[in-house]
């Protein structure tokens, strides 16, 4: 927990000392949320951004140190071009619009994934937001964009193999700590709690290495409806779990 954090409105039944340090979210169900209302899928994504913004604020208010959101997977390129283009433009616009607010709220934003295949204008916005917020000391907000857990592990293996080839690393020196240094998420703690919305019981190639011991919480609620009472429920469930990390 952040020292000196003002736990604004933390529900009284939640124990501040047992909050997760890092929460990760698979924001699923935007399309179904829109379909249920007879709206185009893109409206679900728009509302999804609002839900994410509120969750980020809520994490900050309640003293959670890090939030990671799965915005776009390496497999999402297989969606209709119109939807992919909409999402790329949405990310870019949201980043531009929210940068000032993130500075005011001391958010440190970071993107993880294969960023070099994103549209150049989005890459520029990503770079600018990461550089501008780098020194911020508040919540660490990570956005997984064009992210795939398997791809992340393979690129780490390739980078390590190059080090071995150059004679800078011996195969027997490779351990978990060294391996972590080659992941996109190096320097970010592992998620304590992984939340998935819309009822699907899968990981979908998200943070495969990092969630080895995360507690998983799945709710039927579609992402655009994921709000503070929903988050409260997820945290209550988390606080009732006994984390053993393989021990007894």
| Minimum distance from residue 92 beta carbon to ligand FPP (Å) | 8
| Strand 66-73, strand 140-147: pairing | parallel
Indicate whether 146 belongs to the interface with ligand FPP (CB under 6 A). no
Indicate whether 29 belongs to the interface with ligand FPP (CB under 6 A). yes
The stretch among 6-14, 21-29, 128-136, 149-157 that binds ligand FPP (CB under 6 A) is 21-29
Among 10, 19, 24, 52, binds ligand FPP (CB under 6 A): 52
User: Structure tokens of 42?
Assistant: 């893109």
DSSP string over the chain: --TT---TT--TTS-GGGS-SEEEEE---HHHHHHHTT--HHHHHHHHHHHHHHHHHHHHHHT--EEEEEEEEGGGGGS-HHHHHHHHHHHHHHHHHHHHHHHHTT-EEEEES-GGGS-HHHHHHHHHHHHHHTT--S-EEEEEEEE-HHHHHHHHHHHHHHHHHTTSS-GGG--HHHHHTTSTTTTSPPPSEEEE-TT----TTSSTTTTTT-EEEE-SS-GGG--HHHHHHHHHHHHH----TT--
CB closer to ligand FPP, 107 vs 143:
143
The stretch among 46-54, 112-120, 182-190, 230-238 that binds ligand FPP (CB under 6 A) is 46-54
Point out the catalytic residue in the list 2, 54, 61, 76.
76
The stretch among 17-25, 48-56, 58-66, 228-236 that binds ligand FPP (CB under 6 A) is 48-56
Among 19, 30, 63, 217, binds ligand FPP (CB under 6 A): 30
Residue 121 phi/psi, 5-degree rounding, is: -70, -35
| Minimum distance from residue 200 beta carbon to ligand FPP (Å) | 8
Closest residue by beta carbon to ligand FPP: 31
CB closer to ligand FPP, 8 vs 121:
121
Indicate whether 71 belongs to the interface with ligand FPP (CB under 6 A). yes
Question: Is 13 one of the annotated active-site residues of the chain?
Answer: no
CB closer to ligand FPP, 79 vs 232:
79
| Minimum distance from residue 232 beta carbon to ligand FPP (Å) | 20
Burial class of residue 134 in the structure, from the number of CB atoms within 10 Å of its CB (0-12 exposed, 13-18 middle, 19+ buried): exposed
Question: Is 76 one of the annotated active-site residues of the chain?
Answer: yes
Instruction: Report the catalytic residues.
Output: 28, 76
Which spans of this chain sit near ligand FPP (rule: CB under 6 A)? 27-32, 45, 48-49, 52, 69, 71, 76, 91, 94-95, 143
């Amino acid at each position: 927990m952040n020292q000196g954090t003002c736990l604004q409105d933390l529900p009284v039944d939640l124990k501040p000392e047992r909050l997760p340090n890092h929460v990760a979210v698979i924001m699923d169900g935007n399309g179904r949320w829109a379909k249920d209302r007879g709206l185009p899928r893109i409206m679900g994504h728009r509302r999804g951004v609002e839900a994410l913004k509120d969750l980020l604020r809520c994490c900050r208010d309640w003293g959670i140190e890090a939030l990671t959101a799965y915005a776009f997977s390496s497999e999402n390129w297989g969606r209709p071009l119109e939807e992919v283009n909409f999402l790329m433009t949405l990310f870019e616009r949201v980043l531009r619009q929210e940068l000032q607010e993130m500075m005011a709220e001391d958010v440190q934003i970071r993107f993880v994934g294969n960023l070099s295949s994103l549209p150049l204008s989005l890459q520029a916005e990503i770079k600018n937001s990461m550089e501008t917020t780098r020194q911020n000391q508040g919540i660490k907000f990570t956005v997984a964009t064009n992210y795939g857990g398997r791809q992340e592990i393979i690129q780490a293996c390739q980078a390590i193999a190059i080090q071995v080839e150059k004679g800078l690393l011996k195969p027997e020196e490779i351990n978990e700590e060294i391996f972590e240094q080659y992941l996109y998420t190096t320097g970010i703690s592992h998620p304590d709690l992984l939340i998935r919305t819309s009822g699907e019981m899968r990981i979908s190639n998200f943070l495969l290495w990092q969630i080895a011991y995360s507690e998983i919480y799945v709710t039927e609620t579609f992402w655009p409806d994921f709000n503070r009472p929903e988050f409260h429920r997820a945290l209550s469930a988390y606080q009732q779990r006994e984390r053993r990390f393989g021990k007894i």
